[in-house]
Amino acid sequence: MKLMMDFISRFDSTFHFDEKFVVEEGNRFFLLNANLKKLAMEGFFYAGTYLGKVKKDRFFPSFPLLSMMAEGKANKMIVDKKTEWLFICGRDVFKQGITKVVGSKKKGAYTLIINQHGECLGFGRITVDLDETKRGVAVRNISDIGDFLRREKAR
């Protein structure tokens, strides 16, 4: 739980949830509502909203968690259509493809990547101070929704 909260705080996010509805199953975390919590038996495979998993002391967020974070205050970067496509193919974000920055522009900051419709595509880490660069890689891709296809191919 602490690793997940630390992860969320890296985005200067205000997102929070009632911890009593967070259930840990193996190394994975799920957010349940009262109805689900009443019915969920031990050993379920999936329940409610998947939040992410912990592996080797690192937290790997789910895409629903990133989307929930994107609905509130958090570091966000809105990108154009071409950059959206490249990003979901696993590529980094170039400065030229960014149409708006919300929150930190500092090198090393974590940021959510958002498309023109306000939908969260994943997240990355800013590689340069954004005010001091005009071109080149601005955000290193850490995780993107193209992962759903990669998981299917891996099976």
Partner 1 sequence: MSGREFFTNRYEKLGWKYQDIKLRQSIRTNASPPRKADAVKRLQLLGVKLEKIPFLQNGNWVKEARFSVGATSEYLLGLYSVQEAAAQIPATLFTDIRDKTVLDACAAPGGKTVQLADLMQNTGVIIALDIKKERLRALANQLERCHVCNAIVYEMDARQAARLNVKFDRILLDVPCSGNFAIDANWFRQRTIEDAERNAKLQREILKETTAVLKNDGEIVYSTCSLEPEEDELNIDWATKNLNLKVENIDCYGEEGLTDIFGKKLDASVRNCRRIWPGQTQGFFICKLKKQVDAS
Nearer to partner 1, 109 or 139 (CB): 139
Nearer to partner 1, 93 or 109 (CB): 93
Q: Counting contacts by CB under 8 A, is residue 115 touching partner 1?
A: yes
Number of chain positions touching partner 1 (CB under 8 A): 33
Residue 132 CB, shortest distance to partner 1, in Å, is 30
Q: Counting contacts by CB under 8 A, is residue 151 touching partner 1?
A: yes
Burial degree of 87 (CB within 10 A; 0-12, 13-18, 19+): buried
Cα radius of gyration rounded to whole Å, the chain: 16
How far apart CA 106 and CA 111 sit, in angstroms, is 10
CB 33 within 8 A of CB 48: yes
Options 9-17, 102-110, 116-124, 132-140: segment touching partner 1 (CB under 8 A): 116-124
Residue 140 CB, shortest distance to partner 1, in Å, is 20
112 C-beta neighbours (distance < 10 Å), count? 22
CA 69 from centroid of its chain's CA atoms: 8
Q: Counting contacts by CB under 8 A, is residue 155 touching partner 1?
A: yes
Residue 96 CB, shortest distance to partner 1, in Å, is 19
| Max CA separation in the chain (angstroms) | 53
Q: Counting contacts by CB under 8 A, is residue 124 touching partner 1?
A: no
Among the listed residues 63, 43, 51, the one whose alpha carbon sits nearest the alpha carbon of residue 151 = 63
Which residues lie near partner 1 (CB under 8 A)?
31, 33, 35-36, 39-41, 43-50, 62-64, 67, 84-85, 88, 115, 117, 119, 121, 145-146, 148-149, 151-152, 155
